[in-house]
Structure 1
Amino acid sequence: MTVRTHADSLKWVEHGTGLLVTQVALLDEESIARPSMLPGWTRKHLVAHVAANADALGNLVHWARTGERTPMYSSADQRGADIESGARLSVTELVAWLNVSVHKLGVAVDALTGEQWRTEVVTAQGRNVPATEIPWLRAREVCVHAVDLGTGTTFADLPDEFLAALITDIRGKRGIDEVPGGPLPEVAAYLAGRPHSLADVPDLGAWL
């Protein structure tokens, strides 16, 4: 079992954000409208999701900083509505939203104190977690979705330590006791329900 630290998660957020933002900046109106690697989603949907997720996690950071209960989303429908409306934006508008949301979340996270990091918040799935989990939630989003963008980044481009932590996380959530052998990036891709090279393994379906 891999034990990740708060510092690890912050480092992986930076790595994944760099990968994703760099790739998105290279997309034009035509290429960003093409399908992502997630069924039913264009790259526009994916970028809108990552931007909206930054805003939503920013709500949890606000909760941790002020003690004011601020859910990630105002309603169960807001997440989907934000993604759909974002997918209708121009590439310029969408990239601007992504960059602003990334910057705002980074500034808010950097401002949290040690005591504030220990504040308990509630995820969109209803889990009670300390605010120290927020960077891990974001690291998963930016790292995995940098691959889902379908512009050439693969799980092999993600840090081994992140992949090991991701495997541990997914195993717990899927209730998997044993994982198949194989290269770390391929095992992580398989458990996340993404394309992989492992043979003779059952389909797990998409995760995240």
Structure 2
Amino acid sequence: MSLTAGEQAAREALRARQGAGARYDAASAPAEDLLLARRGTAYFARKLGELSDAELDAPSLREDVRRRALIAQVGYHARALAQQVAAARAGEAVQPISPKTYRNEIAQGATLPPRALCSLVHHAAIHLDVEWRDLTGDGWELSVPLDGAEATPLRQTPRLRARVVWQGALDLGNGGRLADVPADLRAELALPGGR
């Protein structure tokens, strides 16, 4: 994605106004996938915000999954990715996330009070975004063990996150539409309820 001279000048002027403390994505970051993930996060937050506390206890469109567990899964997914990115960025040994530990976190998270459950999703998403923004150009080429012991390049994590949040928003079952999902991501999602 290349910018015109005018767009580049506008971007530089904005950065000058924002000051030295503002964070930006590295030039070599996967910009389009980051945009998909960030828009998906906002869409999920909107659909979540439309639910009353009582509606959090209803079933989701995923078979045998209640909304609370779905919401916890979206939150803990962001947290797990953020921890993996942070460890890789710091040069620490990155351990695969135990599926059993992940399932236990989701089960516990599903029992949180409504406000705490929603805060989990919000804060974990911000943490992940900060970790992405702190990656240098070379950092995007590092790999972490996701999905068992498989090494996944950090460059692929925004697309992975985009699938999770957009699918989660649809599976909440409160009006999320496949037509709302960006066209280049639709084919990667399952239709809610198996439809």
Give the alignment's TM-score, normalised by structure 1: 0.75
- Gapped runs of 5+ residues in structure 2? 1-28
Give the ranges of 4+ consecutive aligned residues of structure 1 lying more than 4 Å apart after TM superposition.
none
Q: Which amino acid aligns with 1:21?
A: A
The answer to whether 1:38 aligns with 2:62 is: yes
Separation in structure 2 between the aligned mates of residue 155 and residue 189 of structure 1, nearest angstrom: 9
Q: Which amino acid aligns with 1:70?
A: V
Flag the 1:58–1:72 CA change in 2: closer, same or farther, 3 A: farther
Specify the structure having the higher radius of gyration (Cα): 2
Aligned residues: CA RMSD: 1.7
Separation in structure 2 between the aligned mates of residue 59 and residue 124 of structure 1, nearest angstrom: 15
The answer to whether 1:155 aligns with 2:178 is: yes
Cα offset, 1:120, TM superposition: 1.8
Greater length-normalized contact order (CA 8 Å, ≥ 6 residues apart): 2
Pairs aligned (count): 167
For 1:1-208, list aligned pairs within 5 A. 6-71=30-95, 73=97, 75-164=98-187, 166=188, 188-189=189-190, 194-196=193-195
Separation in structure 2 between the aligned mates of residue 32 and residue 6 of structure 1, nearest angstrom: 34
Q: Which secondary structure does the structure 2 equivalent of 1:40 belong to? A: coil
- Gapped runs of 5+ residues in structure 1? 167-187, 197-208
Cα offset, 1:194, TM superposition: 4.5
Separation in structure 1 between the aligned mates of residue 193 and residue 30 of structure 2, nearest angstrom: 26
Residues 44 and 87, structure 1, Cα contact 8 Å, conserved in 2: yes
Deviations 1:119-142 (A, max 9, x none): 121113322121101111111100
Residues 55 and 101, structure 1, Cα contact 8 Å, conserved in 2: yes
